[in-house]
């Protein structure tokens, strides 16, 4: 039985993070959307100081005591903070997707070694580099290479759309987890993750993307030119196992896709709450319990928005709960990600539509939320890829049989 009654500690944290979203994030949301790539250092340092000695941040993955339902706790936190501002949330110092990869693929010793710096000190970031110019949704087509040379691995290739890639390579003790192939002939089985710390010779940020939304968060292109890392910086085993190939990539996504779903839900809830308050101010009623044929078009649209948001939330909570219970959640993680990405895109667009010219105006944050929403339908696997995964899981087909 799935019980989503929150622990008192988790419920209290949710209220705390909502206050942070409302009082610290909303007031600077527009400013840092306009000033793309500039960092709100006062906010970032304050959040780091307040959180780095308590629970692990989203993606940090530190193994320490805390709430029993840690992943459920994480997505509730993500929803609350993305209600404030999704871009600022992504910009918060954490081990990020790199930390999630270490937790999914690393040994116990590697988890302690690479994640320990995130216990304190100055703000730090981790990042993950998987997407390439010739390899988008098909992560199995990775062309970046890793060749053993004595006591080192030598990495060569170009990675794009690396979230927080710049900060991870500039902050003290930051790192990027780079996915590269150790054996192209082995296909998916040859793809392995490598931890590349900041200041490693041969790794550079060559470009920052200018984006539609989440503009305060940096999205970097990273070039690896004979980048050398020690042998023990490969996460897990260096052996190529055909039967278990690519499992670490999938395990990482199983953990992070529910978080992305929660991010989407936070943005969608922000738009929905704003529309509800606007209707209340304008004395436009939403008549719950009324026959559908007696409802106005506005009422039907608003109720449909609420329904889709609640459905997405339940899928995300289920995927996170399964992970907390040690159950395989590949199907549920992809379902949550696909549903939430589509739902928030539709909800935010409908919210702008319902308010007409006001919704389109930059005087309100509504148009920003619509722009911020779309990325949730793209990163961590596009809508189409996640629906394909869902179909494969339900029908029992392999990637070769259904693509």
Cβ neighbours for 100, distance < 8 A, ≥ 6 positions apart:
59, 61, 128, 252, 255, 256
The torsion defined by the Cα of 276, 279, 285 and 289, in degrees rounded to 10, comes to -20
Residue with tokens 């009623």: 285
Strands (E), 169-256: 175-181, 191-197, 203-208, 219-230
Distances (CA, A) of 187 to 62, 269, 324, 402: 31, 41, 31, 17
Residue positions annotated with a catalytic role: 380
Both structure tokens of 321: 């709960």
What are residue 157's phi and psi, to 5 degrees? 155, 180
Both structure tokens of 117: 């710096």
Question: What Rg value do the Cα atoms of the chain yield, rounded?
Answer: 21
Which of the 8 DSSP states describes residue 184? G
Strand-pair partners of 132? 135
Report the run of H or E that residue 152 belongs to, with start and end. Answer: strand 152-163
């Amino acid at each position: 039985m799935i019980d989503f009654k929150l622990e008192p500690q988790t419920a209290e944290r949710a209220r705390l993070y909502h206050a942070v979203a409302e009082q610290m994030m909303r007031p600077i949301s527009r400013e840092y959307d306009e000033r793309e790539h500039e960092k709100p250092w006062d906010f970032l340092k304050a959040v780091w100081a307040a959180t780095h000695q308590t629970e692990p941040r989203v993606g940090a993955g530190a193994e320490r005591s805390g709430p029993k339902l840690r992943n459920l706790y994480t997505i509730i936190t993500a929803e609350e903070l993305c209600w404030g501002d999704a871009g600022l949330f992504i910009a918060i110092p954490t081990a990020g997707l790199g930390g999630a990869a270490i937790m999914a693929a690393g040994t116990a010793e590697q988890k302690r070694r690479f994640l320990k710096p995130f216990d304190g000190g100055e703000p730090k970031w981790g990042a993950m580099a998987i997407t390439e110019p010739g390899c988008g949704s098909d992560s199995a087509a990775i062309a970046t290479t890793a060749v053993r040379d004595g006591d080192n691995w030598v990495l060569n290739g170009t990675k794009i759309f690396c979230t927080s890639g710049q900060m991870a390579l500039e902050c003290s003790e930051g790192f990027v987890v780079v996915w590269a192939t150790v054996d192209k002939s082995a296909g998916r089985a040859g793809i392995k993750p490598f931890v590349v710390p900041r200041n490693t010779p041969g790794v550079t940020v060559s470009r920052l993307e200018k984006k539609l939304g989440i503009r305060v968060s940096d999205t970097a292109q990273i070039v690896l030119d004979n980048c050398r890392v020690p042998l023990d910086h490969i996460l897990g085993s260096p052996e190529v196992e055909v039967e278990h190939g690519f499992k670490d990539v999938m395990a990482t996504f199983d953990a992070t896709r529910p978080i992305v779903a929660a991010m989407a839900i936070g943005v969608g809830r922000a738009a929905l709450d704003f529309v509800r308050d606007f209707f209340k101010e304008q004395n436009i009623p939403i008549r719950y319990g009324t026959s559908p044929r007696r409802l106005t078009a506005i009422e039907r649209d608003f109720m449909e928005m609420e329904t889709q948001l609640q459905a997405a939330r339940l899928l995300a909570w289920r995927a996170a709960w399964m992970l907390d219970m040690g159950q395989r959640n590949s199907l549920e993680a992809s379902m949550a990600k696909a549903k939430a990405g589509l739902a928030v895109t539709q909800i935010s667009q409908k919210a702008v539509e319902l308010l007409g010219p006001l919704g389109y105006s930059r005087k309100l944050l509504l148009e920003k939320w619509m722009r911020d929403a779309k990325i949730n339908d793209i990163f961590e696997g596009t809508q189409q890829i996640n629906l394909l995964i869902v179909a494969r899981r339900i029908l029992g087909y392999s990637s070769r049989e259904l693509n």
